Amino acid sequence: MIRLLGIELNNKKAIFISLTKIYGIGIALSKKILKDLNINLYQKTINLSNEDIYNLKNILESKKYIVEGNLKKFNDFNIKRLININSYKGKRYLKGLPVNGQRTRTNSRTSRKFKK
């Protein structure tokens, strides 16, 4: 198995699908990264050369893309900022209620339960 950023990628899948296992990388971004590196999208992960793996690792660790831990810290910081400025969305985050205008009367069972 290939490890990138502490994540083990699936060997049996195409590389553009395997890259989506990394937090912050979707299908569109994985295709863009692979096109920049001139790697075949449908190549199996196990068939990548060492040079391709090295180039992938360098691109993902660069400051160009925010992925994994840095992205999670960024999202947490934004939520804390909303709470600190006492915005409506911040109050909804604190209460554990839906934030983006979803209906709460009938459809939000899981978010309405108070977390202990």
Q: Which of 13-17, 57-61, 70-74, 103-107 has the lowest mean pLDDT?
A: 103-107
Task: Kindly report, residue by residue over 21-51, the tens digit of the pLDDT.
Answer: 999 999 999 999 999 999 999 999 999 999 9
| DSSP secondary structure of 34-76 | HHHTT--TTSBGGG--HHHHHHHHHHHHSTTS--THHHHHHHH
3-state secondary structure of 104: coil
Task: Kindly report, residue by residue over 6-16, the tens digit of the pLDDT.
Answer: 899 999 999 99
- What span, in angstroms and rounded, lies between the C-alpha atoms of 82 and 84? 6
Question: Is residue 111 scored above 60 in pLDDT?
Answer: yes
Q: Are 47 and 19 in contact (CB under 8 A)?
A: no
List the Cα angle 39/30/37 in 5-degree steps. Answer: 30
pTM: 0.79
First to last CA, the chain: 38
Question: Is residue 52 scored above 90 in pLDDT?
Answer: yes
Kindly list the domain boundaries of the chain, sorted by start residue: 2-61, 68-98
Place of tokens 């920049």: 36
Q: Which fold has domain 2-61?
A: Helicase, Ruva Protein; domain 3 (1.10.8)
Q: Which of 8-12, 79-83, 94-98, 103-107 has the lowest mean pLDDT?
A: 103-107
pLDDT averaged over the chain? Answer: 90
Give the pLDDT score at 1: 83
